[in-house]
Amino acid sequence: MSSPAHAAHHAPHSFIRKYVFSLDHKVIGIQYYLLGLFSVLIGMSLSLLMRFHMVNPNVSVAWLGKLWPTAAAGGVMTPELYLSLMTMHGTIMVFFVLTTVPQSGFGNFILPIQIGAEDMAFPVLNMMSFWTTFLALVVMVAAFFVQGGAPLAGWTAYPPLSGAGPLTGPGEGLGQTLWIVSIAIFCGASLMGAINFIATIVDLRCKGMSLMRMPLTCWTWLVTAILGLLGFAVLLAAGVLLILDRQAGTSFFLPAGMLINDHIIANHKGGSPLLWQHLFWFFGHPEVYIAILPGMGVASQLLSTFSRKPVFGYKAMVYAILSIGFLGFLVWGHHMFMSGMNPYSAMAFATLTMCIGVPSAIKTFNWIGTLWGGKIHFTTAMLFALGFVSLFVTGGVSGIFLGQPALDLYFHDTYFVVGHFHMIMGVAAIFGMFAGTFFWFPKMFGRMMNETLGKIHFYLTFIGVYCIFTPMHMVGIAGNPRRYADFTNVEYLAKLIPVHQFMTHAAYFTAAVQLIFLVNLAWSWRKGPKAPANPWNCTTLEWTVPSPPPHDNFNGVHPVVLHGAYEYSVPGAPRDFIMQTEPLPVPSGD
C-alpha cells in the first residue's frame, strides 16, 4: 500500500478547471451523476412515447408531428419511429444511465474517500474518461437529427439489420453509423475509467485498508471495473468490425446470398451474423452485472448501516461478488439459445447460468441475515435498499425460467424477457441509485435531502414499477412478442391490449412520481439543511471527513484503518458504531 501522494494535485481556482475540466474525482463523480440524470430523463421520455404508441397506434398528436415531420407525419407515429425510440431508449438507459451512474458517478465520488485516497490514481485520465463519455452521448443523441433518423435495430444491433445499410430500413443509414461510433467512443471512455478504478483500488488504499477490510461497495466497484475492462474491449472490437462491414465493404457479419428490399447484395460474402451475437453478448452479459453489482454493494452497505448490524457473512459476500464476476463471462450463450448456434453448447451455458444464480441467492440470504436481529431505521435510503432486495428477488427468479433452454423455446423474445430484465437490471439497479443518492447526497452536496418527499417518492415508485413490469411477465406467458410497434396485426394479441393499457397508465403514473424526486433533489441542493460529517452514524471513511469533503478529502491527514467496515452494535462499545479509524473495544472479563 503505497502513499497516495502521486494522485495529489492542487485545488484549482478558475471556474473552468474547478467545475468543467476538473481533475477532482468528486467533481467528476457529480458530472457523471448529472450526465446520467439527463440521460435517464431522455430515456424515460422515450419509454413514455413508446408506451403511448403501443396502445394508441393510430391516434394523432399534433406536437409529435411537429417534432418528427416525416416519421410522425400528421402526428401519428410510424412503426419505424417506434423502433428508433425503442433502440435509443435501450441504448441510452444501458450505457449512459446503468453503466454510468452507479460506477462512474458514485464510484468516482465515494471510492477514493472510502479507501482513504486523495484522488483517483490517474486524475487526467479520469477527466478524459468523463468528457469522452459526454462526446459519446452527443454523438448518440445526434442520431435523432440526421437523415432517416435514429437506428431501429435495437440496443443489441444484430446484423444484417444493423450492418447492411439503409436498405434494411430508415435509420439504418447515418443514424446507425452514429450509433456504432458513439458506442465505440463510449467503450474507450469506459476502458479509461476501468483502468483508473482498478489502479486506484490496487494502489491507493490507505494504511490498514486491506482488501478484506474494504466496504462491500469498493468490492463491487472493483469487480465492475474488471468486467468493464474485459467486456468493453470486446464490444469496441465488435463495433469496429461492424463499422468496417458498413463503410469499408468487409464481411465479418454479412453472409453471401442476401436479397434485401429487392436489391441483391453482391459485395458481401463469408460473414456470420452469429459472430456479432457472440461478441456482443460476451460484453452484454457482463454488462448486466456492471449495472447491478454496484447496486448490490450499496444495498449491503445500507442494510448494515440502517439495521445497526454488521453485514452477515462479509466473506461470503466478497466471494459471491467475485464468482458473479467470473461466471458472468461464461454465460453469454444463454442470450442465444434460439440463435441457431450449436444446441449442445446450450446445455453448457444453461448449467453455468444456473451456477451464477447461486451467488445471487447467497447475497439475498445474507441481506436477510443482515436485517435479522437488527434495529431497522427506515430512512428513505434504507427504504430504497429494502426495495432493491425485493425487486432483485422478483427480477431474479424469472431468470430461473429463462436460463433453461427448454423453457426459452417459448419465452425467448417475448415480453417475459422484457419484464425480467427491466425488473432486475433496470428497476433494481435504479433503486440502488436512488438508495445511493439519498445516502450520499449529504456527503456530495453538504445538505440533507427531504425525508418526507423521499418516502412518498419511494412508496409510489415501488408500487408503480411493480405495476409496470409484473404484467409484462403475464403477456409474455400469453406469447406476446417484444419489439412490436402495436398489437393489432396478430389476433391472439388483441385480448392482451387491456393489460398493455394498464402498464401504460402505470408508466405514466410512475414517471409523474419522479417529479417528486427531481423537486427534492433541486430543493435540497439549494435549501436543504446543512449536513453534519456523519448524519447516518456510519462506519466507513467517507463519514470521517466534512460534508462536502475538502479538495484533498482528508485535509492532509492520512487515515489509518484499524478493522473492517461494518462494526455496528459491538458489545462493550460506547456507541452502536465504531468508525474504521477507531479501535475496537478490548473484550472485558478475559
Partner 1 sequence: MLLAPIIWVLTVGIVYFFAAKTWWFPPPINQHGMDYDAQFMRTLIVVGIVFTLAQFALGWVIMKFRNDGGKASHSHGNNALETLWTSATAILFLGLVVMGTKIWAGVHFDEAPPGAIPIEVMAKQFSWNFRYTGPDGKFGHTDLHLINDANGDPFGLDPKDPAGRDDIMSASLKVPVGKPIKLILHSRDVIHNFFVPELRMKQDIVPGMEIPIHFQADKIGIYEVPCSELCGLGHFQMRTTMQVMSEADFEQWKQQQAANK
Q: Which of residues 66-95 bind partner 1 (CB under 8 A)?
A: 78-80, 83
Q: Long-range contacts made by residues 343-346, C-beta under 8 angstroms, separation at least 24?
A: 343/405, 346/405
In the complex, the smallest distance separating the C-beta of residue 363 from partner 1, rounded to whole angstroms, is 11
583 lies in the binding site for partner 1 (CB under 8 A): no
CA atoms within 13 A on the CB side of 36: 24
Q: ∠ CA(228), CA(234), CA(236), 5° rounding?
A: 90
584 lies in the binding site for partner 1 (CB under 8 A): no
In the complex, the smallest distance separating the C-beta of residue 409 from partner 1, rounded to whole angstroms, is 5
Q: For residue 497, is it left (φ>0), alpha (ψ between -120 and 50) or beta?
A: alpha
Considering only the stretches 101-109, 134-142, 219-227, 380-388, report the one whose residues sit in contact with partner 1 under the rule CB under 8 A: 380-388
All three cell numbers of 338, joined, read 434460439
Residues 499-538 within binding reach of partner 1 (CB under 8 A):
499
Sole binder of partner 1 in the list 466, 517, 536, 554 (CB under 8 A):
466
Sole binder of partner 1 in the list 357, 446, 535, 548 (CB under 8 A):
357
In the complex, the smallest distance separating the C-beta of residue 18 from partner 1, rounded to whole angstroms, is 41
198 lies in the binding site for partner 1 (CB under 8 A): no
In the complex, the smallest distance separating the C-beta of residue 246 from partner 1, rounded to whole angstroms, is 14
State how far Cα 150 lies from the chain centre: 22
Of the pair 51, 412, the CB lying nearest partner 1 is at 412
CB atoms within 10 A of CB 347: 12
> Which string of x and - marks every residue 158-177 that binds partner 1 (by CB under 8 A)?
x-xx--x---xxx-------
In the complex, the smallest distance separating the C-beta of residue 131 from partner 1, rounded to whole angstroms, is 33
Q: Is 185 in contact with 240 (CB distance < 8 Å)? A: no
In the complex, the smallest distance separating the C-beta of residue 532 from partner 1, rounded to whole angstroms, is 20
Q: Long-range contacts made by residues 56-62, C-beta under 8 angstroms, separation at least 24?
A: 57/485, 57/486, 57/488
Q: How far apart are CA 520 and CA 514, in angstroms?
A: 10
Sole binder of partner 1 in the list 96, 106, 109, 312 (CB under 8 A):
312
CB atoms within 10 A of CB 85: 25
Considering only the stretches 142-150, 210-218, 431-439, 475-483, report the one whose residues sit in contact with partner 1 under the rule CB under 8 A: 475-483
Of the pair 208, 479, the CB lying nearest partner 1 is at 479
CA distances to 99, 459, 466 from 431, rounded to whole Å, are: 14, 12, 12
Of the pair 141, 311, the CB lying nearest partner 1 is at 311
Of the pair 207, 377, the CB lying nearest partner 1 is at 377
In the complex, the smallest distance separating the C-beta of residue 524 from partner 1, rounded to whole angstroms, is 22
CA distances to 50, 154, 161, 401, 421 from 477, rounded to whole Å, are: 21, 22, 27, 11, 15
Q: Is 130 in contact with 65 (CB distance < 8 Å)? A: no
Q: Is 529 in contact with 480 (CB distance < 8 Å)? A: no
In the complex, the smallest distance separating the C-beta of residue 2 from partner 1, rounded to whole angstroms, is 30
In the complex, the smallest distance separating the C-beta of residue 402 from partner 1, rounded to whole angstroms, is 10
In the complex, the smallest distance separating the C-beta of residue 470 from partner 1, rounded to whole angstroms, is 6
475 lies in the binding site for partner 1 (CB under 8 A): yes
Sole binder of partner 1 in the list 16, 264, 556, 590 (CB under 8 A):
264
Collapse the DSSP code of 32 into the 3-class scheme (helix H, G, I; strand E, B; otherwise coil) and give the result. helix
In the complex, the smallest distance separating the C-beta of residue 186 from partner 1, rounded to whole angstroms, is 22
In the complex, the smallest distance separating the C-beta of residue 240 from partner 1, rounded to whole angstroms, is 21
Please report which helix (H) or strand (E) contains residue 424, including its range: none
220 lies in the binding site for partner 1 (CB under 8 A): no
b/e 156-180 (16+ beta carbons within 10 angstroms → b):
bbbbbbbbbbbebbbbbbbbbbbbb
Q: Which of 269, 156, 201 is nearest to 7 (CA)?
A: 201
Q: How far apart are CA 316 and CA 269, in angstroms?
A: 50
208 lies in the binding site for partner 1 (CB under 8 A): no
138 lies in the binding site for partner 1 (CB under 8 A): no
Alpha carbon dihedral 326, 331, 332, 336, in 10-degree steps, equals 180
In the complex, the smallest distance separating the C-beta of residue 397 from partner 1, rounded to whole angstroms, is 5
Of the pair 37, 383, the CB lying nearest partner 1 is at 383
Indicate the pairing of strand 263-265 with strand 258-260: antiparallel
454 lies in the binding site for partner 1 (CB under 8 A): no
275 lies in the binding site for partner 1 (CB under 8 A): no
Q: Is 482 in contact with 565 (CB distance < 8 Å)? A: no
Of the pair 404, 514, the CB lying nearest partner 1 is at 404
590 lies in the binding site for partner 1 (CB under 8 A): no
Tell me, by CB under 8 A, how many residues bind partner 1.
116
245 lies in the binding site for partner 1 (CB under 8 A): no
Residues 108-127 within binding reach of partner 1 (CB under 8 A):
none
Residues 395-424 within binding reach of partner 1 (CB under 8 A):
397-398, 400-401, 403-407, 409-410, 412-414
435 lies in the binding site for partner 1 (CB under 8 A): no
Sole binder of partner 1 in the list 135, 258, 322, 330 (CB under 8 A):
258
For residue 254, give the DSSP letter: -
Alpha carbon dihedral 48, 51, 52, 56, in 10-degree steps, equals 170
In the complex, the smallest distance separating the C-beta of residue 168 from partner 1, rounded to whole angstroms, is 6
The amino acid sitting at 98 is L
Q: Write down how long the chain is.
A: 590
Of the pair 3, 323, the CB lying nearest partner 1 is at 323
Considering only the stretches 96-104, 180-188, 314-322, 516-524, report the one whose residues sit in contact with partner 1 under the rule CB under 8 A: 314-322
Q: Which of 282, 270, 403, 405 is nearest to 339 (CA)?
A: 405
328 lies in the binding site for partner 1 (CB under 8 A): no
Helices (H), 487-581: 497-527
> Which string of x and - marks every residue 550-579 that binds partner 1 (by CB under 8 A)?
------------------xxxx----x---
